[in-house]
Structure 1
Amino acid sequence: MNTTIMIVLFLYLAIVFITGHLAGRREVKGEEGFYTGDREFGFWSTTMSACATDSSGWVFIGACGWAFVAGASVLWMVPGFIVGYGLNWFLLGPKLRRQGKKIGALSVIDFLNKRLDRDGNTIRIVGSIVVILFFIPYMASQLTAAGKTISTIVGWDYNTCLVSGAIFVVAYCFLGGYRSVIWTDTVQGTLMLIVLGVFPIYLIASSGGFTSFFTQVAAIDPILVSPGAGATGSALLGIIVGYLFYGAASIGQPHILQRFLSAKDSKTLRQGSIIATVWFNVMMVGSNIVGLAGRIRMPGIADPEYIFPAMVEASFHPIIAGIVVGAIFAAIQSTYSSLLLVDVQAIASDLTNSFRREPLSEAGAVKLGRMTMVLLGVVSILLAVANIDTVFLLVVYAWSVLGAAFGPLIMVLLLWPSSINKWGAIAGMVVGALVTSIWYSAGLGKIVFETCPGMIAAFAAIFIVSYLTRHIDKAPEKI
């Protein structure tokens, strides 16, 4: 255990907690304040929070580990993310923000229900169930990443590390709700951008430069620098298409879309789009270089998902290492807190209100949200302790289900509203989630990531069912 690294890490965590506490000191006025921060966030906080939430511990732990195994082929995700980010920031996000504010939507599920199920709560119930079921494994994956990071650097027991991480995040979310999440994400996202921008440059430079770096990687295994990881024909096509759809699935992530609902104005999103574009390129290319560098520096590591924290500890002065580890933990905390709050909202607001005749008072709604938050923290800890899969695969699964269930639905509703109705929306969510889950469970992800068949099936279900039920339920009104 390196005492200096531990001290620096704890100082960083203290800064994060104080930031969350200061955000929480401002009075939380009811559900809108607790879940959207009263829609008052500017371009930097909106962008940093959206990007930090998107990146998660997956970038530092899962993606680096996967690049260690699969090599440069992982970069096929980049074109997919270009499509997803472009749609979110330039097209879907502004429409979602404007329409959401006009109808008073507090969440993506609330938005879908108010637009498509004006006289009922069926969409609210189905959507909430999907979010609840698949956010919990997503949350567990972040705790798994926390356990791997801190146990590697500090030397604590893995389970102790992940439990401590969950308690820490739940505590500052408990205090200030969405505002605490945004404030802490802004601090943490900035640090993440700096670290994954600088560390890969250091790794390439210390390996003799760009050409020398990739020559060394190719000498270990030429497949590592192959665009298709050595695959050809239909296998190569499956890899490329799978990665492309995986990146595009960002259009259906409720925890990212929530940032558009809470943005102050459309100008915020226009300004943030440039930062977001730079962000995902730095994150994806940086994590890939780190994984490849691991094949040069630590080829015999037992678990590739430990490669980033292990190289940090071996490469830097303890003070710098502590800051870098803080960035890894920042990625984990930012996503876990965002997932936690959206899942809390799905249970304590969206789902609960679907079965109540009288809405809770503002104080009662906040109290219920905080109680649910603690419960979800416990459940995610139990799942993480079970350690049922790698961080990479857990995130890919949850991300794919959410992208298939909500991505096509959000896209059709915002771009072609006359082509969708309530029953088509429900069919899209259910079919998207089911096809993705069946594909994953059958092990077909080795052929193509489950995001691809899930999203295609969801689009088809939306259009077909909406057409067949057009006489039963009308398309949403224009707003």
Structure 2
Amino acid sequence: MIYSFVACLVLFTLIGLASSFFSKKTTSDYLMADKNVNPWLVGLSIFATENSGFMFVGFVGLAYKIGLMALWIPIGWYLGEFIALWLTSSKIRKETDATNAQSYNSLISQWGGRNFKYVGYLSAVITILFLSIYASAQLSAGGKALYALVDWELNTGIIVGAGITVGYCFFGGIRASVWTDAAQSAVMLVSLILLVVFGLSHIGGVHEFYNQVKAVEPSIIDMMTGSYQFGLLGFIAGWFFAGVGILGQPHAMIRVMIIDRPENLKKALLLYLVLAFILAILCVLAALCARILVPDLLSGDPELALPLLSKAVLPDILSGVFLAGLFASALSTADSQILSSSAALSQNILKKYKDSFYVSKLGILLIAAIALSIAFYGDKNVLSLALYSWSVMASSMGVLMFIYALDWKISQWQAIIVMVAGLTAAVLWKEMGYSAGMYAALPGMIAGFVAYGALRLVSRIVR
């Protein structure tokens, strides 16, 4: 097992390092790949970046507990993402050229010729804080995989993941991230397909799988059952707004910003959506196989479902490939988050050094150290950390990006109030315990839009 796992990791690392030979040693190339990435690579990169350890560890753990009801999450989420990006991505890519932005945060502070310096500072702080938390969740996901499959200490796996990610990001920048994403997306899909095929075979085929799942708990094969605090529609709506909130995710939106031509974005989005739905279905099938073959996790940690299932049904060499796939799902997101946070630091906070190639590289080391510290000492629940970070960025920067894309007027202080209102609402919603019934991105984004509407109304009255 360990040999096939190490072989895959070496492959990822070599691909990332190989990209450094194409580096032009400029900040623009390091952070933006000269805005010349083809649509197929962008589609694969969005897929790998978006479907992180959150899917392989957190989402599978949830599906292990609630079954097919978990599918409402990707249905709402991916639909929201697709609609939001289909309507806005071309404009975002064109505005990237118009502003010559080198980071997502620079884009939202310079959109339409604006010079919103304080919006740049605030968005950079939000990015660094919450993407570091998000990246720590990915490192924890990798650590859990190694803990379950090869009995390594959790923190050892976290260090290995951080070391590999920093290695190729430090030398290759965003190009290394995109290239490795393409390889990692292939390993992720192949490993899950193998796991589901072997799991079904171990159980006795599709018919026996259905019978055994139904015998375990009939409700887990019914998408319409379940107790929802705000009803099923409220539950789905929350995840739809989570999808729309992709507009506030710097690590995802940078992929839109670096594509070669705006007209190629729809190809990339279609590829991403098809692969994402395939992955979601495979994750749920694997979770249900685990519910049958590894039945004791309800009282333990359901986020270990996939690695323990692979240990139960796969030959050693394929277990190594699966472990690499799970690890890849974490690394493909962590690298993007570390790079985006580093860009926010160098381009929007340390603006004096924004053209320094080396400051951008040093930023990666600093952000990785922050993420590593959070992974060591913070919450180890991958699902909780990832969803919390996503909701805050969706409710703050996502609302502002949507306002820009609709060509609505907004001043700098209105933008700051909108971001703070959305962020505060998302945090309070989670802290009050309502997130299980309706994801915090919905009330958070609504609060941001309401704040914008109120501010515009007041400005008209005063004028």
Q: TM-score, normalising length from structure 1? A: 0.91
2:2 paired residue number: 6
1:31 paired residue number: 27
2:156 paired residue number: 160
2:316 is equivalent to residue 318 of structure 1? yes
Q: 2:412 aligns with which of 422, 429, 438?
A: 422
Task: Please state how far the C-alpha of 1:328 moved relative to its aligned partner.
Answer: 0.8
Alpha-carbon contact 1:131-1:402 (below 8 Å) kept: yes
2:171 paired residue number: 175
Q: Structure 1: 5+ residue runs without aligned partners? A: 354-358, 474-479
Alpha-carbon contact 1:428-1:462 (below 8 Å) kept: yes
In angstroms, what is the RMSD of aligned CA positions?
Answer: 2.2
Moved more, 182-191 or 116-125: 116-125
What does the per-residue CA deviation read over 1:1-56, in whole Å, with 9 as the maximum and x for residues that have no partner?
xxxx1111111111111111111123343221111011110012111111111011
2:214 paired residue number: 218
Alpha-carbon contact 2:12-2:183 (below 8 Å) kept: yes
2:424 paired residue number: 434
What does the per-residue CA deviation read over 1:268-318, in whole Å, with 9 as the maximum and x for residues that have no partner?
312212211211101211111211211111011331111101111221111
User: CA 1:270/1:242 → structure 2, altered by over 3 Å: closer, same or farther?
Assistant: closer
1:328 paired residue number: 326
What does the per-residue CA deviation read over 1:83-110, in whole Å, with 9 as the maximum and x for residues that have no partner?
2332244221111111211221122211
Alpha-carbon contact 2:64-2:287 (below 8 Å) kept: yes
Moved more, 27-36 or 427-436: 27-36
2:302 is equivalent to residue 304 of structure 1? yes
Alpha-carbon contact 1:85-1:276 (below 8 Å) kept: no
Counterpart secondary structure, 1:446: coil
* Equivalent runs, 1:71-470 vs 2, <5 Å: 71-115=67-111, 118-204=114-200, 206-231=202-227, 234-301=230-297, 302-353=300-351, 359-360=352-353, 362=355, 365-414=356-405, 416-469=406-459
Instruction: Measure, in 2, the Cα distance between the counterparts of 1:432 and 1:124.
Output: 17
Instruction: Measure, in 1, the Cα distance between the counterparts of 2:354 and 2:121.
Output: 21
What does the per-residue CA deviation read over 1:388-413, in whole Å, with 9 as the maximum and x for residues that have no partner?
24111111111111111122222221
- Aligned partner of 1:411: which letter? F
Instruction: Measure, in 1, the Cα distance between the counterparts of 2:162 and 2:361.
Output: 14
What does the per-residue CA deviation read over 1:143-181, in whole Å, with 9 as the maximum and x for residues that have no partner?
110110012222211111111211111111111111111
Equivalent pairs, count: 461
User: CA 1:234/1:175 → structure 2, altered by over 3 Å: closer, same or farther?
Assistant: closer
Instruction: Measure, in 2, the Cα distance between the counterparts of 1:38 and 1:466.
Output: 38
2:51 is equivalent to residue 55 of structure 1? yes
- Aligned partner of 1:303: which letter? D
Alpha-carbon contact 1:228-1:240 (below 8 Å) kept: no
1:356 paired residue number: none
Task: Please state how far the C-alpha of 1:233 moved relative to its aligned partner.
Answer: 7.8
Alpha-carbon contact 1:77-1:246 (below 8 Å) kept: no
- Aligned partner of 1:458: which letter? G
User: CA 1:418/1:439 → structure 2, altered by over 3 Å: closer, same or farther?
Assistant: closer
- Aligned partner of 1:33: which letter? D
Task: Please state how far the C-alpha of 1:198 moved relative to its aligned partner.
Answer: 4.7
User: CA 1:119/1:239 → structure 2, altered by over 3 Å: closer, same or farther?
Assistant: closer
Counterpart secondary structure, 2:295: coil
Instruction: Measure, in 2, the Cα distance between the counterparts of 1:372 and 1:386.
Output: 21
Alpha-carbon contact 2:80-2:242 (below 8 Å) kept: no
User: CA 1:388/1:229 → structure 2, altered by over 3 Å: closer, same or farther?
Assistant: farther
Alpha-carbon contact 1:197-1:282 (below 8 Å) kept: no
What does the per-residue CA deviation read over 1:350-397, in whole Å, with 9 as the maximum and x for residues that have no partner?
1221xxxxx4374xx221122221122122112111242411111111
Q: Structure 2: 5+ residue runs without aligned partners? A: none
Of all paired residues, the percent bearing the same amino acid is 26
Alpha-carbon contact 2:57-2:382 (below 8 Å) kept: yes
Moved more, 426-435 or 6-15: 426-435
- Aligned partner of 1:180: which letter? A
Instruction: Measure, in 2, the Cα distance between the counterparts of 1:309 and 1:37.
Output: 35
